[in-house]
Structure 1
């Protein structure tokens, strides 16, 4: 990773790599010099090769996060990105699990709530100390401008904690080789060449956020993000000159479309909209295509464990439910024993990256998820004769009601077709006879009245779209769906809401 930064710096030293709108900009030359200073300061403070360093930063501090991240890697350490929105218990668990030796913080107003005895250093203090010629602890720094990377391709580079939708999050370990596989080696091969900048609002500490950081290193376009997402601010940046690519998660797409913030705006400059982190309902994809007529709408399917392997799907009304074909790896649908199944047969979905990842300090989970480079995705699906993947559901989300197995994704897609449904999530709730009953949580659009989205109304709307056993037996109207920072719905919390 440090070598990749050096390469981009040599090519485009004065180009803006990352901009936090209205807050800060970072050129490649500044990124490289700052990373070298952080690396030198960390080495002076005793950091050794392989030491894990927590990175506790908020969305307003993407530029310092980028500097700190590459500084840790240049010094031979392992970066552990962590959002500043984590609760103290969540933060403490991650730092304890990875046995972090220190935390770098972007919060100049006070130290984050880390376990007692763990040193916390503000990135700004390290940079200032390095500029003054000291490590900030009274010692001197030498050679900060010529800091040589201590990293090797096979070395561990980062540990990224999964979103934790099903219990305790797991640390996913990635090597430098994994993060840089497929990285461009020629200036003409830089990605997103149609854009001057790409826009996103992803959180630090998520796989989507890390993808944006890597894009900043490998794309011709610079990264542009917000200190805080609002539909109006995001819409203004979409319309701004040079914004040719926009990355979203489905919840952001829905909020943006329903807010009215795009009304009357010129969206013709946007040529690519990429959606990731959660399934993009066909109805939402169709709305994006209508709102951005010049843009290609692409859905990316991957996971923190499988990256960079993924499937990509250019929105096609003829295949509205497909999630694409493999890119950057291999795809397989297999039986419970891991044996490949023929096209059209439903089974477990697996992806395989050229350089695999693994869970950190969790051999039991590794045995269950990783096999000979393949990653069990936890999803059920099928591949058609043309190689397109179709998801049935998350393995743990399939609702077994009576004699039937019901796909929650299929019901959610049908609910999104209702003109007054903004968002929808489906779960199974306990039933004394059937075992489980289908339950739908729905976020109405602002125009919906009290009588517009009752259970009988929705069941009537869905009657021509779904089988009778797929129709929701219970309905819950919410102002918003509970989601983690990656944009995934927390279905366990939804089940608890139905219980209440």
Structure 2
């Protein structure tokens, strides 16, 4: 379990750096273990009670202390992001039934019927150290991004979070690195994966208090970072900023992309910007973790998302479909499965016999590599055709001046639904007619967007995922209204 893993790391090398928030704060394993034990003693929550944790990206050290303190006390940690609006935070606190909120001192906690506290006040408590959790106990509730509706709370047990972690030092990952760098927000599955990496890999976790391409690039160069984790939207911003031309990225040997499929054209550009790096795409979800597929970018399979890794299972539909036939994507891990908290109907639709329905359509090739066709909710049924938004986006990313693209369906009186695209280009605007001509050489006639919407930026949620529901409302508005 994670508290035991932290105690092991602290005993091995208490002075070793675990987490560094650039220019703000750092945390050693010894201090992490000591402070989280103090939080567990001072926490006014009993085993099984839910405790919300509200922190931002500059608070990673305090968040790590609070999170492990809650787990060590046997309570349930509910990570929340400071990027959420107050009504959203209040909804999540009520929805999970939190008895209290631990928050960064600079942040105002949401309204809650129970108690609120900052980490430092909990550390000052003098109570007894609780007995601690059991493997089957609920450890964490992490909310989905909620791009298509209300976010759902996904529960994970201690056995789920600790699965595959805590091996001997010689087997710890990323031994080529002194630091791994990321800028994922707290309260997301990607952010939680980075916290587990901080506990269980060789390098220290390095993160900026705020992500900007220039700051991210400077950290790579100044710390000789060996491992970098990004989401595709961050990768786009980094490349569009010209940072690879101004900074030395030769120390990076592994570049991992998560949270969304990496468009082939973007992956190819990353291999050029990071000449010594192995570019890797990780495919999972909040519901399926730690199950995942892993794909090292392969020019002969540019669109593949890899094969199951670390004991994971992968199937299309019920597992009987032949290679090349499209169906629902399912993942399974060897860990205790997750579930939706307080939503039995949704749990039954997504979690079945250890398998997790991913909400994506895809297929396997003859060698078992996964290819996504689209999100089930994103497929555009235009006239007699079904159009993959992923394929149209991939074609747009092949244009050298396209920085970001999102494809979605909009109502159409003749077709029922028409294909639309929102596009962000580089410093020079690309005329819509030029984009249409470019796409006409790469897509079938029915796949061509009927509407192309130039934007200065795309709306995203706290995880960096593009909000296509908002894009539909932007069609027909003048560009200046979208700023």
Deviations 1:363-412 (A, max 9, x none): 01001101100000000000001110000000010000000000000000
Structure 1, gaps ≥5 residues long: 130-134, 136-140
| SS across alignment from 1:202 | coil
Separation (CA, whole Å) in 1 of partners of 2:107 and 2:442: 54
The CA deviation at 1:342 is 1.8
Across the aligned residues of Structure 1 and Structure 2, the Cα RMSD in angstroms comes to: 1.2
Q: 1:263: how far off?
A: 1.5
Deviation by residue 1:39-73 (Cα, 9 ceiling, x = unmatched): 0001xx3x111000000001110000000000001
Per-residue deviation at 1:111?
2.9
**Structure 2: how far apart are the matches of 1:126 and 1:372?**
40
Find the aligned partners of 2:277 and 2:386 in 1 and give their Cα distance: 37
Q: Using the alignment, how far apart are the partners of 1:59 and 1:445 within structure 2?
A: 28
Q: What do the CA deviations read for 1:68-113 (whole angstroms, capped 9, x no partner)?
A: 000001110000000112111111111111100000001x245323
Q: TM-score, normalised by structure 1?
A: 0.93
The answer to whether residue 327 in structure 2 is matched with residue 347 in structure 1 is yes
Match of 2:405 among 414, 417, 424: 424
Q: Deviations over 1:422-469 (max 9, x none)?
A: 1000000000010001100000111x23xx331x22121011211000
CA contact (8 A) 2:289 2:333 kept: yes
Q: Paired residue for 2:111, among 114, 117, 124?
A: 114
2-structure distance, mates of 1:344, 1:220: 39
Mapped contact 2:55–2:107 kept (Cα < 8 A): no
Choose the corresponding residue for 1:204, options 175, 186, 193: 186
Match of 1:89 in 2: 87
The equivalent of 2:354 in structure 1 is 373
Q: Distance in 2 between matches of 1:484 and 1:12?
A: 38
Rate the CA distance shift 1:149–1:443 in 2: closer, same or farther, 3 A: farther
Q: Secondary structure of the equivalent of 1:472?
A: coil
Which whole-Å CA distance do the structure 1 matches of 2:66 and 2:476 have between them?
44
* Equivalent residue, structure 2, for 1:413: 394
| Separation (CA, whole Å) in 2 of partners of 1:482 and 1:272 | 29
Q: 1:79 and 1:302 mapped to 2: Cα distance?
A: 21
1:126 — aligned with what?
122
Alpha-carbon distance in 2 for matches of 1:295, 1:126: 42
2:4 pairs with 1:12 = no
Q: Which secondary structure state, in structure 2, belongs to the residue aligned with residue 396 of structure 1?
A: coil
Q: Does 1:463 align with 2:440?
A: yes
User: Retained in 1: the 8 A contact 2:84–2:462?
Assistant: no
Corresponding pairs, count: 474
Q: How does 1:1-400 map to 2 (within 5 A)?
A: 1-42=2-43, 45=44, 47-106=45-104, 108-109=105-106, 111-115=108-112, 117-127=113-123, 129=124, 135=125, 141-142=126-127, 147=129, 150-328=132-310, 329-334=312-317, 338=318, 340-354=320-334, 355-400=336-381
Query: What secondary structure is seen at the aligned counterpart in 2 of 1:124?
Result: helix
Superposition deviation, residue 149 in structure 1: 5.1
Q: Contact 1:429/1:498 (CA < 8 Å) preserved in 2? A: no
Change (3 A) 1:188 1:492: same
**1:138 alignment partner in structure 2:** none
| Whole-angstrom distance in 1 between the partners of 2:18 and 2:370 | 34
CA contact (8 A) 2:403 2:425 kept: yes
Residue 270 of structure 1 contacts residue 294 of structure 1 at CA under 8 Å; is this kept in 2? yes
Q: Secondary structure, in 3 states, of the residue corresponding to 1:274?
A: strand
The secondary structure found in structure 1 opposite 2:226 is: strand
- Quote the residue 1:438 is aligned against: 419
DSSP 3-state at the match of 1:397:
coil
Q: TM-score, normalised by structure 2?
A: 0.96
Cα offset, 1:241, TM superposition: 3.6
Deviation of 1:142 after TM superposition, in Å, equals: 4.9
Residues 360 and 373, structure 2, Cα contact 8 Å, conserved in 1? yes
Shift in Å at residue 125 of structure 1?
Answer: 1.9
CA apart distance, 1:264? 3.3
